[in-house]
């Protein structure tokens, strides 16, 4: 068994930042990650980091833009924390050597981004995430923080107190991918989940194949609630054949969207008369699909993004990476022809329910980054707001897990006296009761709250070893790849940009079938050495759980807000829906409930307004 004060699961931007912060707070910190840190998907982020750095800009404008962009479903304390801390954290990155793009006077450049009232997106070419990830990994190396890379975390170790809010997390169980060795990792202070997004629940996604929602699913099974899972961002400019992302930076620099008739449809068809291409992402994604749906798409599938008029010099200076992506993955030369683009799953606004200190409703369990929902992004994330979230809230989670006092959080988590139960929607299936076995991630055989951590860890390790043996000893059945493909298709067909109640119900039934098939899943590869078949079989289980929460959230929220559009109710209904959707597993008895959104900031209240661009 390994033992540390703080265990960080995942080594992307949030995980690395959390680890550095916990280490600096004096905790013995280790990172456990299924990928080597530099392979993390933060590296694929292109656009930039929003931070109110310049004179004339200020954090309050950033907070205002973010609340508006969220369609008033973000919690003001989270948003204000993000806007206040982003400048300092961005400058910190610069002092760690991050190669930001520069102005003539040597200061860091900032550019306009969708939904922003000021050009406050700090960037490093069109590969900001790559530089952020590598810069932060360099600092981890500098500090000698222990990294267990290519260790796959299989489950969390928590006690089995009846009320999830009374549970504590004592560590994780992981296996060394290279050797197959299953081990316990005891966390004396806390576990920080920083496992990234669940994009692989969809089949056209900008996300890496590693983005399988592992943290979401493990936390959910352990009793943490998941928040606002229905809010999935579809990025308006992904390449049609692969889903590779073309940065919003292209539109930020002046790139223009055209339909098949050569119309600049964002203006000419009235989708966003003021901002045009730089309207919020959900607005642009719906506009594109509407164009295609009404017969004005190119090859009935996509639209064109044209940046030729920017000129070769400016493109090479600020968007060179985009030329390579378009060339390598779509065979298009962005200097001489427009690039084909269509919406692709890109980001999950929802995630593990945490407060502004990164804490979940389970003691000692934290989450930060895309896997978490503070909530900063609400119904729709603005471009350039994900990277500051990683560093601001990664740092806070790391510090708090290490034992620092960050003051009391205003945001509440878990099922409590401030929530309202879901009672109206008829669910087509009983959620979440199948799976490889019906037991949850909770150590049900433990001795209650007072159970000793070492014993809990040992039993959890034994359980995962038995699970691996069972998967590998089984000689036939269904393989995970079939189940995953079926799941992804259903999500893309029915829980996409445009959603209907009937479609979502269909998706839920398919997800149920996937669960049933998963009971017959087996791992064909007989080797303990680097068994990716085994790893992906675990990941597929997580995807099923996470997909179900996305679909359930989408079904119960019968309104149109941010990225979530419902055919039956195509308007935002503030009278009823200024509230977060929460789903809790609760030992196999899932419940859905709501918590009011917090619109009261420290000095002002963000009154919901019509969101027009």
Partner 1 sequence: MSTQQEQPKEPESQEAPEDPEMRGAESPQQERLKEKEQGLAQAEAVDESDVEGETVHLKVFRYDPEVEGKQEPRFDDFYVPFEKGMTVLDAVMYARDEFDSSLTFRHSCRQAVCGSDAFFVNGRQRLGCKTQISELEQPVRVEPLPHQEVVKDLVVDMDHFYDQMHAVEPYFQDEDTPATNDLEEQRQSPENREKIKMSSRCIWCGACMSSCNIAAGDNQYLGPAAINKAYKFAMDDREGAEIKEHRLRILEQEHGVWRCQTQFSCTEVCPKDIPLTEHIQELKREAVKKNLKFW
Question: Which residues does the annotation mark as catalytic?
Answer: 281
Nearer to partner 1, 137 or 220 (CB): 137
Between residues 188 and 242, which has the closer beta carbon with respect to partner 1? 242
Please report the DSSP string for 471-525 in residue order.
HHH--SSB-HHHHHHHHHHHHHHHSSSEE-HHHHHHHHHHHHHHHHHHTTB----
Nearest in space to 401 (alpha carbons), one of 168, 224, 183: 168
Q: How far is CA 61 from CA 367, 377, 475, in A?
A: 27, 15, 60
| Per-residue binding letters, 100-119, with partner 1 (x by CB under 8 A) | xxxxxxxxx-----------
DSSP state of 338: P
Taking CB under 8 A as the criterion, which residues in 64-93 touch partner 1? Answer: 87-88, 91-92
Cα 469 to Cα 612: distance, rounded to the nearest angstrom: 55
Cα within 13 Å of Cα(509), Cβ side: 7
Out of 26, 97, 311, 447, point to the residue binding partner 1 (CB under 8 A). Answer: 97
| SS3 state of residue 289 | helix
Tokens of 46: 């292109």
The residues in 385-424 that bind partner 1, with binding defined as CB under 8 A, are none
**Rounded to the nearest whole angstrom, what is the least distance from the CB of residue 489 to partner 1 in the complex?**
14
Q: Is 43 in the site for partner 1 (CB under 8 A)?
A: yes
Comparing CA positions, the residue from 157, 199, 151, 173 lying closest to residue 10 is 151
What is the spatial order of strands in the sheet that 351-353 belongs to?
A: 372-373, 351-353, 226-227, 579-584, 591-596, 420-421
Q: Which is nearer to partner 1, 326 or 365 (CB)?
A: 326
The verdict on 525 binding partner 1 (CB under 8 A) reads: yes
Residue of the chain from 264, 269, 412, 528 that contacts partner 1 (CB under 8 A):
528
The minimum distance between CB 163 and partner 1, in angstroms, equals: 38
542 binds partner 1 (CB under 8 A): no
Stretch that binds partner 1, among 138-146, 162-170, 447-455, 543-551 (CB under 8 A): 138-146
Under rule CB under 8 A, residue 38 binds partner 1: yes
Judged by CB, which is closer to partner 1: 482, or 605? Answer: 482
Nearer to partner 1, 44 or 578 (CB): 44
CA distance 519 to 480: 11
- Least Å distance, CB 524 to partner 1, is 5
Q: Quick one: which of 146, 168, 188, 242 contacts partner 1 (CB under 8 A)? A: 242
- Give the nearer residue to partner 1 in terms of CB position, either 532 or 612: 532
The nearest distance, CB 43 to partner 1, in angstroms, is 5
Q: Does 99 bind partner 1 (CB under 8 A)?
A: yes
Least distance (Å) from partner 1 to the CB of residue 53?
7
CA distance 109 to 363: 41
Contacts of 402 (CB under 8 A, 6+ apart): 5, 6, 21, 22, 23, 25, 26, 27, 29, 189, 190
Nearest approach in angstroms of CB 541 to partner 1 is 16
Q: Under the criterion CB under 8 A, does residue 141 sit at the interface with partner 1?
A: yes
130 binds partner 1 (CB under 8 A): yes
Instruction: Supply the minimum distance, in Å, between the C-beta of residue 245 and partner 1.
Output: 7
Please give the Cα distance from 521 to 478 (Å, whole number).
5
530 binds partner 1 (CB under 8 A): yes
275 Cβ neighbours under 8 A, 6+ residues apart: 114, 115, 266, 613
DSSP-derived secondary structure for 520-580? TB------STT-HHHHHHHHHHHHHHHHHHHHHHHHH--S-BTTBEETT--S--HHHH-EE
Q: State phi, psi for 188 to the nearest 5 degrees.
A: -70, -35
| Six token digits for residue 312 | 């070769």
CA 30 to chain CA centroid, nearest Å: 22
Residue closer to partner 1, measured from CB, 130 or 377: 130
Give 360's DSSP letter.
Answer: -
Using the rule CB under 8 A, which residue among 117, 178, 273, 519 binds partner 1?
A: 178
Binding of partner 1 at residue 181 (CB under 8 A)?
Answer: no
94 touches partner 1 by CB under 8 A: yes
Answer yes or no whether residue 444 interacts with partner 1 by CB under 8 A: no
In the complex with partner 1, the residue whose CB is nearer, 227 or 330, is 330
Q: With binding defined as CB under 8 A, does residue 337 bind partner 1?
A: no
Q: Based on CB atoms, which residue is closest to partner 1, 42 or 380?
A: 42
d(CA 232, CA 492): 11
For residues 354 and 393, give the distance between their C-alpha atoms in angstroms, rounded to a whole number: 10
Minimum distance, C-beta of residue 89 to partner 1, in the bound complex (Å): 11
Pairing between β-strand 339-348 and β-strand 303-306 as defined by DSSP bridges: antiparallel
Q: What is the footprint of partner 1 within residues 485-524 (CB under 8 A)?
A: 485, 523-524
Judged by CB under 8 A, the number of residues near partner 1 is 67
Is residue 248 within 8 Å of 281, Cβ to Cβ?
A: yes
Q: Which residues bind partner 1 (CB under 8 A)?
A: 35-36, 38-41, 43-44, 53, 87-88, 91-92, 94-97, 99-108, 125, 127, 130-131, 134-135, 138-139, 141-142, 178, 208-210, 241-245, 324-325, 328-331, 479-481, 485, 523-533
């Amino acid at each position: 068994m390994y033992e540390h004060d703080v265990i960080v699961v995942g080594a992307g931007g949030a995980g690395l930042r959390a680890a550095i912060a916990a280490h600096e707070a004096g905790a013995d910190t280790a990172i456990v990650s299924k990928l080597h840190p530099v392979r993390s998907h933060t590296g694929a982020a292109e656009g930039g980091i929003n931070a109110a750095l310049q004179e004339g800009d200020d954090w309050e404008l950033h907070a205002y833009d973010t609340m508006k962009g969220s369609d008033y479903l973000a919690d003001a304390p989270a948003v204000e924390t993000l806007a206040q801390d982003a400048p300092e954290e961005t400058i910190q990155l610069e002092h760690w050597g991050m190669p930001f793009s520069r102005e003539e006077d040597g200061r860091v450049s900032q550019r306009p981004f969708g939904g922003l009232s000021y050009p406050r997106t700090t960037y490093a070419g069109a590969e900001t995430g790559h530089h952020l990830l590598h810069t932060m990994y360099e600092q981890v190396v500098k500090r000698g923080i222990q990294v267990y890379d290519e260790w796959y975390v299989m489950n969390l170790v928590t006690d089995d107190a009846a009320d999830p809010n009374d549970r504590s997390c004592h560590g994780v169980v992981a296996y060394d991918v290279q050797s197959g060795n299953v081990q316990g990792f005891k966390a004396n202070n806390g576990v920080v989940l920083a496992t990234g997004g669940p994009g692989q629940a969809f089949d056209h996604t900008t996300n890496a194949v590693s983005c399988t929602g592992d943290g979401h699913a493990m936390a959910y099974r352990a009793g943490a609630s998941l928040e606002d899972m229905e809010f999935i961002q579809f990025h308006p400019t992904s390449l049609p054949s692969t889903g590779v992302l073309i940065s919003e930076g292209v539109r930020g620099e002046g790139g223009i969207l055209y339909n098949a008739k050569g119309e600049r449809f964002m203006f000419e068809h009235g989708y966003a008369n003021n901002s045009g291409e730089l309207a919020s992402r959900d607005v642009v994604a719906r506009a594109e699909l509407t164009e295609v749906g009404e017969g004005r798409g190119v090859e009935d599938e996509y639209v064109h993004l044209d940046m030729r008029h920017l000129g070769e010099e400016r493109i090479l200076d600020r968007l060179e990476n985009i030329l390579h992506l378009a060339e390598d993955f779509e065979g298009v030369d962005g200097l001489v022809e427009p690039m084909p683009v269509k919406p692709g799953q890109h980001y999950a606004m929802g995630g593990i329910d945490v407060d502004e200190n990164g804490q979940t409703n389970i003691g000692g369990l934290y989450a930060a980054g895309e896997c978490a929902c503070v909530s900063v992004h609400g119904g729709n994330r603005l471009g350039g707001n994900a990277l500051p979230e990683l560093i601001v809230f990664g740092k806070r989670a790391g510090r708090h897990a290490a034992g620092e006092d960050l003051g009391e959080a205003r945001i509440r988590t878990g099922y409590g006296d401030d929530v309202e139960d879901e009672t109206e929607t008829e669910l087509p299936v009983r959620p979440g009761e199948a799976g490889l076995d019906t037991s949850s991630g909770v150590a049900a055989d433990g001795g209650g709250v007072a159970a000793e951590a070492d014993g809990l860890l040992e039993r959890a390790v034994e359980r995962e070893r038995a699970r691996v043996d069972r998967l590998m000893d089984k000689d036939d059945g269904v393989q995970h790849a079939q189940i995953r493909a079926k799941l992804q298709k259903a999500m893309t067909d029915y829980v996409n940009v445009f959603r209907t109640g009937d479609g979502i119900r269909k998706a839920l039934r398919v997800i149920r079938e996937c669960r049933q098939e998963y009971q017959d899943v087996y791992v064909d590869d007989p080797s303990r050495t680097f068994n990716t078949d085994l790893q992906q079989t675990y990941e597929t289980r997580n995807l099923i759980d996470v997909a179900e929460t996305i679909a359930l959230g989408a079904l119960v929220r019968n309104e149109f807000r941010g990225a979530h559009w419902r055919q039956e109710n195509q308007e935002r209904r503030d009278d009823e829906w200024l509230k977060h959707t929460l789903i809790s597993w609760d030992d196999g008895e899932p419940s859905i409930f709501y918590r009011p959104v917090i619109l009261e900031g420290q000095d002002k209240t963000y009154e919901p307004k019509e969101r027009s661009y």
